[in-house]
Structure 1
Amino acid sequence: MRRADRVRSPCVSVCALDENDVCIGCHRTGDEILRWTQMTDEERRSVLKQVAIREQKVAL
């Protein structure tokens, strides 16, 4: 698989973890951020689904 075809990081260069260990910029947990480069694209897509849920909760 070409590098350009891989699931890209949701990082927005606003890196700070809140009291729940979730980044206020990309909404990934600290563990998800650390493991991102070792994850398969399937795992990354799963994380992005969780990110979308977390992002919606913050918007409420």
Structure 2
Amino acid sequence: MYGLARLLNFKPEQTIELADEMSFFQTPAITVDQSLEATLATRPEMKVLAARGEALPGLIRG
């Protein structure tokens, strides 16, 4: 509350009353598998590694 009062430039003796309930927003549940799947599909460095892995068998058989 101190930081909010400072941010809004309230006087130190002024009382702040919040109208809404103080709560943190709910984040959706995500599994490790979903996280890894999203990472493998979207991260550029993971795409490069996947492309190298696909090209490697062709280079070895040559």
With the shorter chain as reference, the TM-score category is under 0.3
Structure (1 or 2) with the greater helix fraction: 2
User: Greater relative contact order (Cα 8 A, min sep 6): structure 1 or 2?
Assistant: 1
Output the TM-score relative to the length of structure 2. 0.27
